[in-house]
Chain A
């Protein structure tokens, strides 16, 4: 972008779209692997699950990783997207791709609207209090879904909802993820992204420098929730049973773990952690075998503790892959790594 951009390497305009080319290549390789039957239906489902989690986690990455707004109610928004899109797809869609796209967008939009209505008042809260308020929201959504059949019988309440057409395949999921990733990448590398980072580092200072903190916090929150709403819509069209227990606060923990383990303020880290996380859970299933299935939770918990103790700043610690965020797009501040892994603000100790 700037005049001192290195002469060697790709021209800047190509660098920016490189991620789309790489994605296309990856997509073609995956399709080829599927076509020759190298990937079993089981692992296809696992991959789809990983990509859906990645999409949802990107949303939380924008909210928490880049803007520093602590949220442990992300699964609530995931649920809203899933149920709205699932309900529309089931009632009107019947497997029609046009309707599928519409219901996905409707799910994301509904999530965005709810996020706006909830976010506007609660984003005034700071750090842990915001976390608790969002956690409360997530639990409220789950309880309401558990009892939703009293109002709309089709939703099934605590019995779950069946019958959403299963038409989300790799193409839909992969490209939804890539489009959102591309948009978020551009957003994060723009003036908007810098405002978000400023808020994350110090909200009061950002305010004092003239950043409209309410605006940026709300927009980041709404966009992040829309992304997870979209992920929910895809989930509803990929896995036949929608059940409120798939959207409880443990699910919110999953998103949070992925974003933190990937490294706050890193889209690449979020992607890697999400896909890795899903494959780890499934991998443990095959490695441990039937006899040790009980140990899966224990091993997972121990791995989590060990990883976070060894790399508290996350796997990518605020850095990005050059393919995703080329150096020409990184601001000097991002490149120098100042303030990385800082969100969460103050260290554990010390005065408040």
Chain B
């Protein structure tokens, strides 16, 4: 039973990291209906910057997270400006292909010898390890930090979306671009800010991820990216609480299937569950089910 609860704690830790990545996917999808395949690679860049921050430049851990978030926000805005904005009114698939292109670019560019090199690098411990015990269940301090940081960011995000002008603009743009523009909302700026927030969250996710799973390599973003994206779809893409719910489920599925069934088959199990859920609820767990507009 203790084993189960320890796995459960691991699942929560992973789920919260997925949640940060999934939020970026879901916000971007909500606002421009684009599956931003490059998001997983922004997560990777964030992880590297965090790694450099606390391991090479010896910044304090929270500062390293902040630096990485700011840099990735800039990266996200640049990506949107260069690769997606020219395709805003092109067929949707064109932007998707562009996103795949950006993803490849980030992966291969970061693999270059004078950038991050293609090698795996071990990340030194950012914080001294401490274990707390709760009824015999070990809870490492990393888990607690991840949960606290993610919850704080979720609260901040909730505040931004529902209690600020920019949040209102984001909701309006995601509802209808043209109507929002007619109401005097600067659509391009709103979209840029959405990318900035989403990318900053992914960067934070990256730094937290390598704190818990200490290694970095240029292709590390692919699988967590896919998982987080799946989580966003599972919860109902475009819906912020759905992304968090989906991510928590995804974290548990990942950890539990590795613990109890087979670590090799865990991706297959995760995606089987996704397909089954979609068959029962074609727009995700919290997705709107209303009749389709013609």
Contact = CB atoms under 8 A, between A and B. Distances in A.
- The answer to whether A and B interact is yes
Interface of A: 121-122, 124-126, 128-129, 131-133, 135-137, 139-140, 143-144, 146-147, 204-205, 249, 253, 256-257, 260-261, 264, 294-298, 300-302, 304-305, 308-309, 312-313, 341-352
A312 B87 contact: yes
Most chain A beta-carbon contacts within 10 A, residue among B92, B268, B279: B92
Contacts of A126: 282, 292
B294 to A, nearest CB: 5
Nearest to B105: A301
Contacts of B284: 129
Nearest to B288: A352
Nearest to A349: B177
A346 B33 CA distance: 10
Nearest to B272: A140
Please name the 5 residue pairs, one residue from A and one from B, whose CB atoms are nearest each other, closest first: A297-B108, A312-B90, A136-B271, A312-B94, A349-B177
B282 A125 contact: yes
B100 A257 contact: yes
Contact of B107 (A143, A297, A313, A346): A297
Contacts of A305: 82-83, 98, 101-102, 105
Interface residues of B, number: 60
B112 A300 contact: no
Nearest to B268: A143
Contacts of B95: 348
Given A136-B272, A143-B265, A257 B97 contact: yes
A123 to B, nearest CB: 11
Residues of B contacting A: mostly: helix
Given A308-B97, A349-B177, A132 B104 contact: no
Nearest to B264: A147
B278 to A, nearest CB: 5
A301 B104 contact: yes
B274 A133 contact: yes
A125 B33 contact: no
A342 B83 contact: no
13 contacts: A124-B279, A140-B271, A146-B264, A147-B262, A294-B113, A298-B112, A301-B101, A301-B104, A309-B94, A309-B98, A312-B90, A343-B91, A345-B92
Contacts of B98: 304-305, 308-309
B233 A129 contact: yes
A297 B104 contact: yes
B275 A133 contact: yes
B294 A348 contact: no
Contact of A125 (B82, B226, B278): B278
Nearest to A294: B112
Contacts of A312: 87, 90-91, 94
Given A143-B267, A346-B33, 19 more contacts: A126-B282, A128-B33, A128-B35, A128-B237, A129-B233, A129-B284, A133-B275, A136-B271, A140-B267, A147-B262, A294-B112, A298-B105, A305-B101, A305-B102, A308-B97, A312-B94, A343-B93, A348-B32, A349-B89
